Amino acid sequence: MIALALLLATQAAPADTDAPLIEDVAAAASNPDAAPVITVMMSDRGSGVGTALVHFRPPGGEWQKADLKGGTSGLFIARLPDGAQRTGFEYWIEASDIAGNGPTRIASPDRPIVVEKATEPTMVRVERQRAAAAAAPVHIHPAWLMLSLGVGVAAGAGAGAFGLDIGNVQSRIDREQPTGARAAELEQARTIDVAAAATLGVVAVAGLGTGVVLVVLSSLE
């Protein structure tokens, strides 16, 4: 009977043969004063994403790599060394699942994604436009007010959702008392959720605060 049960279990759970699926890739590197951040949306229907790396280099330089760290939502993030945004850089992505399937790649060493450097003329132009806007009379379109308030409310809801997920992860930790790799996985998920909740909380405060300021300025026009 035990042998039959094991046979049925094996037949009911086919081996994982599918590599991870990379759905979207983006690079935030337009601010000369902020280190570049690579974000990747990926998933794996079988054993789960195991190893995920971003390979990067400055123009003409040697390839380096950074781990893409992810959470339960499928969002993986890697922060590159500060300074890469000022030189520009090239990068490509690869990921394998826990079962060893892959790697799945976006771009390649021979055909990488190219990110242009954040240039000083761009900063000067932004400052000039900002100074001109400050000197001009304030005319606030209602759409900006609604957008600010909408962003604040949406970010607040997102922060609340991540807050609930933090509670769920903590409950699983308390209930399962995991060790080893499982404990590390749950702790990483909780860390990602805490960071996301904090970030969205800041965005919510900023959005609602901006909306209030715009309401006041509109009343003064």
The CATH topology of domain 2-119 is Immunoglobulin-like (2.60.40)
Q: Are 210 and 176 spatial neighbours (Cβ–Cβ below 8 Å)?
A: no
Give the residue carrying structure tokens 């909780």: 190
How much is the pTM? 0.50
Question: Residues with Cβ < 8 Å from 197, sequence gap 6 or more?
Answer: 159, 162, 163, 166
Tens digit of each residue's pLDDT (9 = 90 or more) over 198-218: 787 787 677 667 767 666 656
The SS3 of residue 177 is: coil
pLDDT of residue 84: 93
Q: Are 136 and 143 spatial neighbours (Cβ–Cβ below 8 Å)?
A: no
Mean pLDDT by groups of 10 residues along the chain of 221 residues? 48 73 91 90 88 94 94 86 94 93 93 87 68 67 70 74 75 77 75 78 74 63 54
Q: Are 33 and 21 spatial neighbours (Cβ–Cβ below 8 Å)?
A: no
Distance CA(87)–CA(78), nearest Å, equals 18
Q: Are 85 and 29 spatial neighbours (Cβ–Cβ below 8 Å)?
A: yes
**Strand 49-57 with 64-67, pairing:** antiparallel
